[in-house]
Amino acid sequence: MSEKPIIGFIGIGIMGRSMAGHLLAAGHPVHVYNRTKEKAQDLLNKGATWQDTVGDVAANADVVITIVGFPQDVESVYLSDDGILARAKSGATVIDMTTSSPDLAVKIYEEAKAKGIAAMDAPVSGGDIGACEARLSIMVGGDADAFEKVKPIFEIMGKNIVLQGGAGDGQHTKMCNQVAIASGTMVICEAMAYAKKSGLDPETVLKSIESGAAGSWLLSNLAPRILKGDFAPGFFVKYLLKDIRIAIESAEKMGLDLPGLALAKQLYDKLAAAGGENEGTQALFKLYQEQL
């Protein structure tokens, strides 16, 4: 392996574009693939190398990173006949940073191990801002030796990087994060709706409550967007709904009831049905706005 490992990056979306850009800026050769090539053009202009298939990316890389949409996309890019595991070199490392199914992460890990490939699940939190500023929280599942080997790569993209345990444990940790986000965003929308309905200035209210016991990253980052009517996606409603479904399914397998998450799902399903699936998660406020 060269001094700077060759990185394959698959999934050039809102977050992936920034993440791949940081790796490129750090001096890593980066090979990219995305279903829509135009989304990767900025990276190509900066020196990234385009590959026509995910298999071609894997064949040319020491470390392959994926951040795609849904579990079915993860399964396709890793386990298809011309996918990552079919083409990656023995001794390579593959890292799925998509928020996906813990069970699927274990399956990929086991199939990769049989081929001499190290596999990790490493979903992230921090949204578009965290990706842009290279301060993502990265939750890792996999073997400790593989984690130490690629930790310098994680450190280019994030600040809070924790090995949570074995295969699938990164995804379980991300589910904890998404449970908190789904219910927390609902609560923030309700707080801002209450402030408006009572005749208060919500921005002044925010100055008081964001530094108190109610303070959180969500409150400080999403409430200002809500008050400006900015519902552009830092994280899409359709992806949060995907995560909620994974979390509920995983919780049911463990015999755990999550009523708060079930209520958040109800509301987000309503927002998506009204055409809001491609908006940011803070667009949930629109359901409350109808009452103001």
Long-range contacts of residues 193-197, Cβ cutoff 8 Å, at least 24 apart: 193/285, 193/288, 193/289, 193/291, 193/292, 196/292, 197/291, 197/292
Catalytic residues: 174
DSSP labels for the chain?
--SS--EEEE--SHHHHHHHHHHHHTT--EEEE-SSGGGGHHHHHTT-EE-SSHHHHHHT-SEEEE--SSHHHHHHHHHSTTSHHHHSPTT-EEEE-S---HHHHHHHHHHHHHTT-EEEE--EESHHHHHHTT-EEEEEES-HHHHHHHHHHHHHHEEEEEEEESTTHHHHHHHHHHHHHHHHHHHHHHHHHHHHHTT--HHHHHHHHTTSTT--HHHHHHHHHHHHT----SSBHHHHHHHHHHHHHHHHHTT---HHHHHHHHHHHHHIIIIITTSBGGGGHHHHHTT-
